[in-house]
């Protein structure tokens, strides 16, 4: 058998990806969730696997299927389940890409029976969920890369940089809402990548699979520097 060079750039690299929304239970039939489709995270997982990476994909509730056979998929519902799965796998990883739209709050108590309709107003007490990216940021070693996402409505760059620092990320992918056709529910995205070394890269509006390829390229470059 002739020896040939593989063009795959992430052979032997292990990458954790979170994707989709989380659902936080209110009662047996209701939850707090969000409109994240999971498309960006799934596209990333596929591109990483195409480059030979061993991918662990922690997915919230989404209606998506994977094409690549080697991706290890862990389906979760809540932020707490997603956190647990990430804590379990992150120590073995070379990189983690936090693409999930994790709920920031969850009901303090889950009602064991369906909550009945009443004519008066009602309130649900909420408590903060764990910041999964920040918790991985605390565990991160010098040989690991941590990537976050941000979707902002105002002061985009400033807010994204704040998150980069607070969560100890190596770079953050800012989803620009400035342009139509970017963000939740659509197949395209316009991103800006802000790095901890103050490097800023602007990208064109593209299909999410192409955006994923740009992010994987950036990740590959940054991994090589570690
Ligand atoms: N993130 C996370 N766990 C959370 C909240 C966010 O891992 N509980 C991750 C997201 O996956 C994303 C990054 O942190 O990579 C930024 O998420 P975002 O919701 O923009 O930031 P927050 O810190 O939650 O701030 P806010 O929603 O108030 O803007
Ligand atoms: Ca949030």
Tell me how far apart the alpha carbons of residues 185 and 166 are, in angstroms, rounded to a whole number.
Answer: 28
Q: Is 203 helix (H, G, I), strand (E, B) or coil?
A: coil
Distance 206 CA to ligand 1 centre (A): 23
Please, what are the domains in the chain? Answer: 14-114+123-225 (3.40.50.10300)
Regarding the beta carbon of 100 and ligand 1, being less than 6 Å apart is answered: yes
Regarding the beta carbon of 174 and ligand 1, being less than 6 Å apart is answered: no
Q: What is the pLDDT of residues 180-201, one digit of tens each?
A: 666 666 788 899 999 999 999 9
Q: What is the pLDDT of residues 57-110, one digit of tens each?
A: 999 999 999 999 989 999 999 999 999 999 999 999 999 999 999 999 999 999
Check residue 52 and give its pLDDT. 97
Tell me how far apart the alpha carbons of residues 171 and 216 are, in angstroms, rounded to a whole number.
Answer: 12
What is the average pLDDT score of the chain? 94
Check residue 176 and give its pLDDT. 80
Which residue owns the Cα nearest ligand 1 atom 8? 131
> Which residues have their alpha-adjacent CB atom under 5 A from ion ligand 2?
104
Task: Look at 46-50, 56-60, 152-156, 220-224 and tell me which has the smallest mean pLDDT.
Answer: 152-156
Q: Nearest CA to 99 among 167, 142, 149?
A: 149
- Are 138 and 90 in contact by the 8 Å Cβ rule? The answer is no
Check residue 160 and give its pLDDT. 96
Regarding the beta carbon of 148 and ligand 1, being less than 6 Å apart is answered: yes
CB atoms within 10 A of CB 104: 14
Check residue 182 and give its pLDDT. 67
Among the bound ligands, the one closest to the CA of 156: 1
Q: Residue 1: pLDDT above 60? A: no
Judge if ipTM > 0.85.
Answer: yes
Which residue owns the Cα nearest ligand 1 atom 9? 133
E strands present in 60-176: 72-75, 95-98, 105-107, 126-128, 145-151, 171-175
DSSP state of 81: H
Provide the annotated active-site residues: 34
Regarding the beta carbon of 163 and ligand 1, being less than 6 Å apart is answered: yes
């Amino acid at each position: 058998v002739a020896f040939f060079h593989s063009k795959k750039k992430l052979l032997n690299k292990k990458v954790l990806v979170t994707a989709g929304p989380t659902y936080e239970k209110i009662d047996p039939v209701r939850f707090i969730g969000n409109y994240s489709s999971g498309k960006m995270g799934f596209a990333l997982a596929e591109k990483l696997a195409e480059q030979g990476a061993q991918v662990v994909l922690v997915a919230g509730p989404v209606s998506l299927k994977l094409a690549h056979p080697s991706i290890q998929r862990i389906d979760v519902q809540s932020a707490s389940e997603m956190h647990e799965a990430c804590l379990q796998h992150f120590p073995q990883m070379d990189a983690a890409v936090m693409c999930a739209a994790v709920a920031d709050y969850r009901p303090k108590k889950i009602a064991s029976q369906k909550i009945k309709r009443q004519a008066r107003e009602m309130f649900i007490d909420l408590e903060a969920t764990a910041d999964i990216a920040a918790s991985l940021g605390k565990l991160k070693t010098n040989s690991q890369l941590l990537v976050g996402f941000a979707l902002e409505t105002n002061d985009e760059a400033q807010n994204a940089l704040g998150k980069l620092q607070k969560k100890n990320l190596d770079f953050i992918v800012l989803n620009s809402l400035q342009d139509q056709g970017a963000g939740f529910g659509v197949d395209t995205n316009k991103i800006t990548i802000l790095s901890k070394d103050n490097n800023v890269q602007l990208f064109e509006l593209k299909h999410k699979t192409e955006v994923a390829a740009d992010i994987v390229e950036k990740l590959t470059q940054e991994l090589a520097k570690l």
